[in-house]
Amino acid sequence: MKKIKAFAKVNLYLEVFPKDSNGYHKINSLITYVKDLYDEIIIEKNTNEDIVVCNIKELEKTNFIYQVLKILRKNLVIKDFYKITLKKNIPIGAGLGGGTSDAISLAKFFKCDKVSAEQICKKIGYDSYFFYSKYKTALVSGYGELVSKYKKKITIRKKDLIFTNINCDTKKVYEAFDKLDYEHTEKQNNLTKAACKLYPILNNYLKIGQMSGSGSTFIYKYKIENIKKSF
């Protein structure tokens, strides 16, 4: 039995560009880990199937972890089946990358090869490449695959965040974003308007915070303003 931690992330700013000819959005973002917020994962061998046991029951059937194990087994990185016990501390639908972090942390635990890592990252999405990188804070662009180290130290803790307890659906936020006129935002988050349109209660937090990812967590503005002095 092995135990690992999967840390949350926040977008200190996020610019999403309109869909390109391939039907995908390019992004430009500064991402860092939340130092004291993480999911806990226990890894045990199982007999003849993969099982995910989670304190949030709805995540036991639909979870990126199954996809990771499937790809790793197909590519002969692993041979055995596993029981994964997942204790979720990172809120879901909160723009903190919890599900992606869980999956990539597991892939890194198994020391997956570059081919498997690329397949997993493409399958899971934008944040995957950041979590797979070795950087604590990084500039992320392209489709998430361009990740470079941000040299200045940034520390974000739970006390710097506003947890709204709203479960934002990332796919729906992007669909709402596509219906809006594109607006360039300088070091902010241009998914905010789309998220607030879908979940109007988020408007209550705009004066005191800046949204992370596709919502629903906000970073206190005083913290963001202090960080922006280093940009």
Q: How far apart are CA 11 and CA 31, in angstroms?
A: 5
Domain boundaries defined on the chain: 2-149, 158-228
Please give the pLDDT value at position 114. Answer: 94
Q: Sign (positive/negative) of CA torsion 206, 221, 174, 19?
A: positive
Range with the poorest average pLDDT among 99-108, 145-154, 178-187, 202-211 = 178-187
| pLDDT confidence bin for 184, thresholds 50/70/90 | confident
Q: Is residue 231 predicted with pLDDT exceeding 80?
A: no
pLDDT one-digit tens code per residue, 2-28:
999 999 999 999 999 999 999 999 999
Q: Give 229's pLDDT tier (boundaries 50, 70, 90).
A: confident
Quick one: pLDDT at residue 148? 98
Q: Per the residue annotation, which of 9, 39, 102, 160 is the catalytic one? A: 9
SS (H, E, C) the chain: CEEEEEEEEEEEEEEECCCCCCCCCCEEEEEEEEEEEEEEEEEEEECCCCEEEECCHHHCCCCHHHHHHHHHHHCCCCCCEEEEEEECCCCCCCCCCHHHHHHHHHHHHCCCCHHHHHHHHHHHCCCHHHHHCCCCEEEEEECCCEEEECCCCCCECHHHEECCCCCCCHHHHHHHHHHCCCCCCCCCECCHHHHHHHCHHHHHHCCCEEECCCCCCEEEHHHHHHHHCCC
b/e string for 123-136 if b means 16 or more Cβ within 10 A? Answer: ebbbbbbbbbeebb
- Does 89 score more than 90 pLDDT? yes
Mean pLDDT of the region 197-210: 98
Is 127 marked active-site? Answer: yes
Above pLDDT 70, what percent of the chain?
100
Give the CATH fold of the 2-149 domain.
Ribosomal Protein S5; domain 2 (3.30.230)
pLDDT at 84: 98
User: Most distant CA pair in the chain: distance in Å?
Assistant: 54
Report the candidate in 159, 167, 170 with the shortest Cα–Cα distance to residue 223. 159
Place 197 in a pLDDT band, splitting at 50, 70 and 90.
very high
Average pLDDT, the chain: 96
β-pairing verdict for 81-87 and 51-54: parallel
Statement: the pTM of the whole predicted model exceeds 0.75: yes
Given 39, 127, 160, 223, the catalytic residue: 127
Active site residue 20: no
Quick check: 97 pLDDT over 80?
A: yes
Average pLDDT over residues 161-172: 98
* Bridge partners, residue 142, by sequence: 27
- pLDDT for 228 equals 86
Please compute, for residue 175, the number of CA atoms within 13 A of its CA located in the half-sphere on the CB side: 6
Q: What is the pLDDT of residues 34-68, one digit of tens each?
A: 999 999 999 999 999 999 999 999 898 889 999 99
Burial of 89 by CB count in 10 Å (0-12 exposed, 13-18 middle, 19+ buried)?
A: middle
Whether 198 shows a pLDDT value over 80: the answer reads: yes
pLDDT bin (cut points 50, 70, 90) of residue 158 is: very high
CA distance 55 to 87: 6
Position 106 scores a pLDDT of 98
